[in-house]
Every structure is written in C-alpha cells, then in structure tokens.
Chains A and B, each alone.
Chain A
Amino acid sequence: DAKTTQPPSMDCAEGRAANLPCNHSTISGNEYVYWYRQIHSQGPQYIIHGLKNNETNEMASLIITEDRKSSTLILPHATLRDTAVYYCIVRVANRDDKIIFGKGTRLHILP
C-alpha cells in the first residue's frame, strides 16, 4: 500500500500558486519525499524531492513540516500546462527500495 495520502483532486486558477498537500505520517528517518506529475498518457515527470529541508528548483518548491509527517508541493504560478496528476511518494532509501505510487491528486488549472 502507498504510504502517502493525497486529496483526489484540486482546482487552481491560472497564474495563482498551486499548493498540493501530502500526508506521510509513518515516514521513517531515512525516507525521502518525492513528487512526480503525469500529464495525460505520458510517462511521469520528476519534479522535486527532499529529506528534511525545504527544497526549490525551477519547477516547484517543496515544503516539509518539521515532524516530516506532511509536505506541500508549491507551483508558484500555475499555467494550463500544469494540469496533471501529481504523485507524492515516500521512498525507502535502502537496498530493498521499492517505489509505491498512490492515486495522486488530479490538479485542474482553471483559465
């Protein structure tokens, strides 16, 4: 089973920041939080990942709470091309690594 919980869908107005939440209350100390997105019928696209500290790249920012039990992916200025299913994944960082995808959040960007 997936170790993350995400809302099934969200709406965001174009040009606004999209904040996508993810709960991972059973996360272990050596597990990273990864975010991917999948635009219809394409392969998932890597967005960002982090362990404890907040992270930012050209695509998004990742805010991880201090207790690491939840995180938020922020797309600062959403565009119509950001319409996709966003997956939050907790990845076990050991030899028996296995990625388990949940259902993700379907983000609709409204014009």
Chain B
Amino acid sequence: KAGVTQTPRYLIKTRGQQVTLSCSPISGHRSVSWYQQTPGQGLQFLFEYFSETQRNKGNFPGRFSGRQFSNSRSEMNVSTLELGDSALYLCASASGSQETQYFGPGTRLLVL
C-alpha cells in the first residue's frame, strides 16, 4: 500500500497570506490527524477528522482550520499567516479513530 502523502512538500509564504496543505491518507484509512512541529514546541496536535467530521481539536487559534472529504483526503488551512507559523506540518492517517497512526513526510512551511 502507498503511504500517507502530503503536498506540497515545501512552501514559502509571506505574513498575512493564507495557505492550504493537502494530505492523502493510506487507502482505506478514514481518520486523518494534523500536527505542527517546531523546534521550540515540538510536535503539537492540531485536529483530527474521521468520516468528514472533526473529532478532536488541539489548542490552536481559529486561523487554523481543516476539513475532510468523502474520499478521506484532508486539507488544512491557515489564514493570516504569522512568522511563528513556520513549521513542519505533519499529517497522520489511521484506519479508525483509535487505531495506530501512520505519518506522512510533512510539509515544511516558511513564513517570511
């Protein structure tokens, strides 16, 4: 089976812009979770989607949003980018909400 794929792999944006990141889960997986990783804060949970519904949410401002489509693919959107949003954004998929998560390679976002 193909693994979790994330696009784009690298992205450069400027402050105030918005960005949309995409995640395609492993075939058959219905749960997609998003994480932000920075050197200072480590890996932090953003949100989880299961069957197009947000099941869980971390402590991030409303500028961070996501959605999941009927084919389980997920997108994450960050509006009004700030310098501190520069990070590696990771997506993980699982067959069910309580199952083992498998991570994608991540999208590295740089905000200038």
| Residues of A bordering B, CB below 8 Å | 34, 36, 41-46, 49, 87, 93-104
Contact = CB atoms under 8 A, between A and B. Distances in A.
B8 interface: no
> Main SS of chain A's interface residues?
loop
Interface in B74-109: 88, 90, 92, 97-98, 100-106, 108
Interface in B1-35: 4, 33, 35
A67 to B, nearest CB: 24
Q: Please provide the 7 A-B residue pairs with the shortest distance between their CB atoms, ordered closest to farther.
A: A43-B103, A101-B43, A44-B103, A43-B105, A98-B56, A43-B106, A43-B104
A99 B98 contact: no
> Main SS of chain B's interface residues?
strand
B100 A49 contact: yes
Contacts of A87: 43
A100 B45 contact: yes
Contact of B106 (A36, A42, A101): A42
Contacts of A97: 48, 55-56, 97-98
B42 A102 contact: yes
A46 B108 CA distance: 20
Nearest to A100: B45
Contact of B97 (A41, A42, A95, A103): A95
Nearest to A99: B45
Contacts of A36: 103
